Amino acid sequence: MKRLERLSGQLLSSTAAAAAAGAVPCRPANRRIPRAAQTCRSITTKTRSSSLYCSRIQQQQQQIRCQSSATPPAAEADADPSSAEEPAAPPPEFANEDGVSPPNVPAAEREEAYSGPPPPLPSPHPSRAAQSAKLAALHARLSLSSRVPVQTLARALVDPSADGHPRYSNANLAWLGASLLQYHASEWLVARYPRLPMAINFAALKGLVGPPALHQIARSWGVEAAAAPGEEVDPGLLQYDATRGSVSMNMWGYVRSEAKEIQKYKFRRGMSSRILYDDAFGELLTKAPKRQGEGQGQGAQGQEGENATAATTAIPNPNPEVSGARNHPDSQMLVPDAAENAHANFVRAVVGAVYLHCDRHAAKRFAQAHVLSRRLDLAGLFAFRHPERELTRLCAREGFEAPLARLLSETGRLSRTPVFVVGIYSGRHKLGEGIGPSLDAGRTAASINALKSWYLYSPGDHVAVPSDAFAEDGSAAPWKPLYVDLGEVVT
């Protein structure tokens, strides 16, 4: 009994001493941890390190820039409060393939590498837009509304070739502006000149809202281009990369399988196929030509089962947006002339910005004031192959008498430079008059003038267009139907 009491006292005294010293009873050293427990502990550690590193990188990218007219995304309110207390994962250069830092790398060196300067931005930060004198002058020169912020105007000056991200370039704005310009120009041409042949309509549409015309408009606005895009460029300068093809804003169209043969052998394309397959201006769509240094990327499946080669200078698209397809070189929407197309995209983007920040009528008035008000010589777009035959068929279709050429006057018949004035008559009505050095030349010129006077018929300068009935405030005038012609004469 005494021996049992002595052993119990020794045990109680050792337990009290261990508790006073703060010691924790440990397991024996020779005890092995099961393999399942070791694997579970390793996976938990790696997952926690990877998630912390990814969250840290996302927070740093959100703090770099928010180059859009919208406000930057706010921090999540329900974030885990314990994540701020745990150490962040190391940068990639000091981490192994599992995302775990090796023990031989000093902590100070890891912190210095992680807190290094961020990579340069491909375009200026939007916060600099309010400090740019060029941007403010351009905003005032275009008489833009105060509802159009200068940040949006700065975004309109960034071409997709300079910044491939669709949220920071003018790709989406230019896409919207191109559709608006083509719509208003098309309805104005159809309502103002209802007898225009379709080929002349295509040429006139390109002369109004095509890349060459919009390039001249941008130059007349005083837009200056930067030597090279970058973060340090003034936001008031047009930024594009001349070494990369600019994005073409095609609303529709298909790349024909026989496009190479059509270009090589100059095959004739019918008007129906031009309307169905070609672009908005009736021009043949072809694949973008490869530039020097391209053709070494990964293969992509092209049309008709052919293998197309992706360009090494592909425009990045980190977010799966609608504009990603047209920002990729395989979309067949790249044009080689980057300067002309970048200026045209800027004009389109400004129209799209006015439509978004103001309304439909403001965008229409802006397009009428800056684009549709330019003078276009429609008479110079005509090129008749057989004007006399076409005039004869036109008179037969309309029920007129057969055209007859009559000599009105002449001078110097026996000299080196004779002049003959010939008139084309249908019964007693004079259809046209022409001047030429011979009777045949005078008759041809008179037939051409008669055809032009027929096709260039206009009901007036202030003709109503379909978009006039879109007034949402109830101020739209009663709609008057437009004159619809039978169409051109097919010869």
Lowest mean pLDDT among 170-184, 223-237, 250-264, 407-421: 250-264
* Of residues 260, 4, 231, 267, the one with CA closest to residue 123: 231
Residue range 22-49: mean pLDDT, rounded: 46
pLDDT reported for residue 373:
94
* Of residues 373, 369, 392, the one with CA closest to residue 450: 392
Residue range 457-466: mean pLDDT, rounded: 89
pLDDT reported for residue 113:
55
pLDDT reported for residue 184:
96
Residue range 237-254: mean pLDDT, rounded: 81
Residue range 12-40: mean pLDDT, rounded: 48
DSSP per-residue codes, 314-355:
PPP--S--GGGTTTSGGGS-EES-HHHHHHHHHHHHHHHHHH
Tallying the residues shown for the chain, one arrives at 491
pLDDT reported for residue 343:
96
Mean pLDDT of the chain: 77
The model's pLDDT over 379-433, given as tens digits with 9 standing for 90+, comes to 999 999 999 999 999 999 999 999 999 999 999 999 999 999 999 999 999 999 9
At residue 287 the predicted structure's pLDDT band, cuts being 50, 70 and 90, is low
The model's pLDDT over 125-137, given as tens digits with 9 standing for 90+, comes to 988 999 999 999 9
Tell me which of 309 and 411 has the higher pLDDT: 411
The model's pLDDT over 171-183, given as tens digits with 9 standing for 90+, comes to 999 999 999 999 9
The model's pLDDT over 346-384, given as tens digits with 9 standing for 90+, comes to 999 999 999 999 999 999 999 999 999 999 999 999 999
Helix 211-220 vs helix 198-209: crossing angle, to nearest 10: 30
Residue 59 has pLDDT above 80, yes or no: no
Lowest mean pLDDT among 36-45, 182-191, 326-335, 353-362: 36-45
pLDDT reported for residue 426:
96
Tell me which of 119 and 188 has the higher pLDDT: 188
Structural contact between residues 219 and 343, judged by C-beta atoms closer than 8 angstroms: yes
Residue 68 has pLDDT above 80, yes or no: no
Residue range 68-82: mean pLDDT, rounded: 45
pLDDT reported for residue 476:
75
Q: In this prediction, what percent of the chain has a pLDDT beyond 70?
A: 65
pLDDT reported for residue 96:
47
pLDDT reported for residue 157:
96
At residue 109 the predicted structure's pLDDT band, cuts being 50, 70 and 90, is low
pLDDT reported for residue 334:
63
Structural contact between residues 28 and 129, judged by C-beta atoms closer than 8 angstroms: no
Residue 33 has pLDDT above 70, yes or no: no
**SS3 sequence, 78-110?**
CCCHHHHCCCCCCCHHHCCCCCCCCCCCCHHHH
Range of 50-59, 319-328, 424-433 with top mean pLDDT: 424-433
Tell me which of 73 and 4 has the higher pLDDT: 4
Structural contact between residues 124 and 234, judged by C-beta atoms closer than 8 angstroms: yes
pLDDT reported for residue 298:
37
CA 329 to chain centre: 13
Lowest mean pLDDT among 94-98, 163-167, 215-219, 382-386: 94-98
CA 176 – CA 355 distance, rounded (Å): 9
**Residue 146 to residues 139, 237, 371, Cα–Cα distance (Å):** 9, 20, 21
Q: At 334, give phi and psi (nearest 5°).
A: -95, 140
Structural contact between residues 255 and 181, judged by C-beta atoms closer than 8 angstroms: no
pLDDT reported for residue 437:
96
Structural contact between residues 69 and 155, judged by C-beta atoms closer than 8 angstroms: yes
Residue range 69-84: mean pLDDT, rounded: 45
